[in-house]
């Protein structure tokens, strides 16, 4: 066996194929011209990118002010001309400003002594997410189930304080009603009731479980855990961004799947309804949706019915992103060969089994890039909630900029850089995970 030539292997090989091969051909005048052009072009590119990246690093790190030991605030970032001690013409990040506004940018006016609740929710969320995503860990399914059921409820109670106002007797009645439905379903399944009931036994049990689940959730949310209540009006910053984005992301996928299946349904009524829903929500800008939800909706509700501003915005975002997700999923469904449906039908799978076990796993795999693209878009679109007076990361950052105590020419740029970095980290993370998933799935399943 011969070793591969140096141009085919290792770092040299990579450099050769990707960079130098295109500029090394001088065999004819034309080829030489082309190589020369490539060399010049590469040099220009290196120069342009180099200066840009250096400029950014210089602004953010090399020339930046990192501390304010004397506690002089804005004067720490003033040039001599402006009355401070930095050299004239200095233009770089003023990080002490961000440090001073850190709590506000991340959590808004959330009461400081209650912040441990937010930390707890965030740490639990990050740990749970990591557990679900890291493949070597055991019980990932169970972890995912907890993340979708217990975690949202726990987070809700931690962040708001729980203790919501519901009539406990009513909850108890619903609970018993749910249990009754389940029993009817059980008896029906065993064929002990009339034919009509037996036919619908499954639906009875299903609805029963839903009712029981909802009344349990309501009872827990109404329980007094002795936590200081925090109004959602006091939430802000990254906390709002995460709450809105995560709710939107988690709700949009299942809703989008159901809408996409509905739109492709054989039943005209369902298909038309889903199509109208999707086209309506895709046809209006998110800003309009948020505006309607927060300003117009209360006009139509009976006086005295007051429901939370954040909740209204959340519902708007959920429905809006569900419509987008539905179209992405529908694209995936269309890519599935008719033979897959027939194969599933022929072995006797029911409609839902066929979708869940055969069609959706393949359709969703096809459109992972589109799904993550929608997630990323949604994450960034959360900034629009500022329009209805909810202060997300960007909104909180912007109101921090208004603080005259830190007024310097670089105040705004520094804050925007900080906000931008945080957004980038989350969006880039999602993007990398999507690429990782795609590679993994294509390795294990394709030809």
Partner 1 sequence: MAQTTTKNAQIDADDIMISMKGVNKWFGSFHVLRDINLTVYKGERIVICGPSGSGKSTLIRCLNRLEEHQAGDITVQGITLNNDLKNIDEIRREVGMVFQHFNLFPHLSILENCTLAPIWVRRMPKAKAEEIAMHYLERVKIPEQALKYPGQLSGGQQQRVAIARALCMEPKLMLFDEPTSALDPEMIKEVLDTMVGLAEDGMSMICVTHEMGFARKVANRVIFMDEGQIIEEKDPESFFNNPENDRTKLFLSQILDH
Name the site residues for partner 1 (rule: CB under 8 A): 337, 339-340, 342-350, 353, 357-358, 361-362, 365, 444-447
Distances (CA, A) of 87 to 10, 28, 68, 240, 314: 48, 55, 16, 39, 48
199 vs 234, which CB is nearer to partner 1? 199
In whole angstroms, how close is the CB of 205 to partner 1 at the nearest point?
16
18 vs 444, which CB is nearer to partner 1? 444
21 vs 342, which CB is nearer to partner 1? 342
In whole angstroms, how close is the CB of 444 to partner 1 at the nearest point?
7
In whole angstroms, how close is the CB of 347 to partner 1 at the nearest point?
4
Cβ contact 20:4 at 8 Å: no
From CA 154, how far away is CA 161, in angstroms rounded?
Answer: 10
89 vs 339, which CB is nearer to partner 1? 339
In whole angstroms, how close is the CB of 260 to partner 1 at the nearest point?
18
In whole angstroms, how close is the CB of 333 to partner 1 at the nearest point?
14
Q: Which of 94, 65, 75 is nearest to 414 (CA)?
A: 94
In whole angstroms, how close is the CB of 358 to partner 1 at the nearest point?
6
In degrees rounded to 5, what are phi and psi of residue 94? -115, 80
361 vs 429, which CB is nearer to partner 1? 361
10 vs 343, which CB is nearer to partner 1? 343
From CA 397, how far away is CA 406, in angstroms rounded?
Answer: 13
What lies within 8 Å, CB to CB, of 252 at 6+ separation is 318, 321, 322, 324, 325, 374, 378
In whole angstroms, how close is the CB of 132 to partner 1 at the nearest point?
20
What lies within 8 Å, CB to CB, of 303 at 6+ separation is none
From CA 176, how far away is CA 170, in angstroms rounded?
Answer: 10
328 vs 344, which CB is nearer to partner 1? 344
In whole angstroms, how close is the CB of 357 to partner 1 at the nearest point?
6
In whole angstroms, how close is the CB of 379 to partner 1 at the nearest point?
28
73 vs 354, which CB is nearer to partner 1? 354
34 vs 186, which CB is nearer to partner 1? 186
């Amino acid at each position: 066996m011969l070793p591969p030539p140096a141009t085919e292997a290792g770092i040299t090989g990579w450099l050769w194929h990707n960079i130098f091969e295109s500029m090394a051909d001088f065999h004819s005048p034309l080829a030489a011209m082309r190589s020369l052009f490539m060399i010049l072009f590469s040099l220009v590119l290196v120069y342009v990118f180099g200066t840009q990246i250096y400029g950014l690093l210089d602004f953010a790190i090399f020339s930046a002010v990192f501390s304010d030991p004397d506690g002089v605030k804005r004067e720490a970032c003033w040039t001599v001309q402006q009355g401070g001690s930095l050299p004239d013409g200095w233009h770089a990040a003023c990080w002490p400003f961000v440090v001073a506004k850190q709590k506000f940018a991340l959590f808004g006016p959330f009461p400081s002594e209650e912040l441990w609740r937010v930390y707890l929710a965030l740490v639990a969320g990050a740990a749970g997410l990591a557990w679900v995503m890291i493949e070597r860990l055991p019980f990932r399914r169970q972890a995912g189930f907890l993340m979708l059921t217990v975690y949202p409820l726990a987070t809700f109670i931690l962040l708001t304080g729980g203790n919501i106002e519901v009539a406990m007797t009513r909850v108890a009645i619903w609970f018993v009603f749910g249990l009754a439905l389940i029993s009817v379903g059980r008896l029906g399944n065993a064929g002990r009731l009339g034919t009509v009931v037996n036919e619908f036994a499954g639906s009875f049990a299903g609805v029963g479980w839903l009712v029981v689940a909802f009344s349990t959730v309501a009872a827990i949310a109404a329980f007094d855990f002795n936590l200081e209540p925090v109004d959602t009006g006091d939430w802000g910053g990254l906390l709002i961004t995460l709450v809105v984005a995560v709710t939107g992301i988690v709700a949009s996928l299942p809703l989008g799947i159901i809408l996409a299946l509905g739109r492709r349904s054989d039943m005209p009524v369902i298909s038309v309804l889903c199509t109208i829903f999707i086209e309506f929500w895709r046809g209006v800008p998110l800003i309009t949706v948020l505006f309607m939800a927060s300003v117009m909706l209360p006009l139509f509700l009976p006086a005295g019915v007051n429901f939370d501003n954040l909740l209204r915005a959340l519902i708007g975002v959920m429905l809006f992103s569900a419509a987008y997700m539905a179209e992405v999923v529908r694209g995936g469904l269309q890519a599935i060969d008719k033979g897959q449906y027939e194969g599933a039908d022929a072995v006797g799978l029911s409609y839902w089994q066929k979708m869940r076990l055969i069609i959706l796993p393949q359709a969703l795999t096809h459109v992972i890039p589109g799904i993550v693209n929608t997630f990323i878009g949604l994450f960034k679109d959360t900034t629009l909630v500022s329009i209805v007076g909810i202060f997300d990361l960007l909104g909180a950052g912007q109101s921090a900029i208004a603080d005259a105590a830190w007024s310097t020419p670089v105040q705004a740029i520094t804050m925007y850089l900080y906000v931008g970095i945080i957004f980038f980290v989350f969006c880039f993370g999602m993007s990398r995970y999507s690429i990782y998933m795609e590679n993994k799935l294509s390795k294990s399943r394709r030809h």
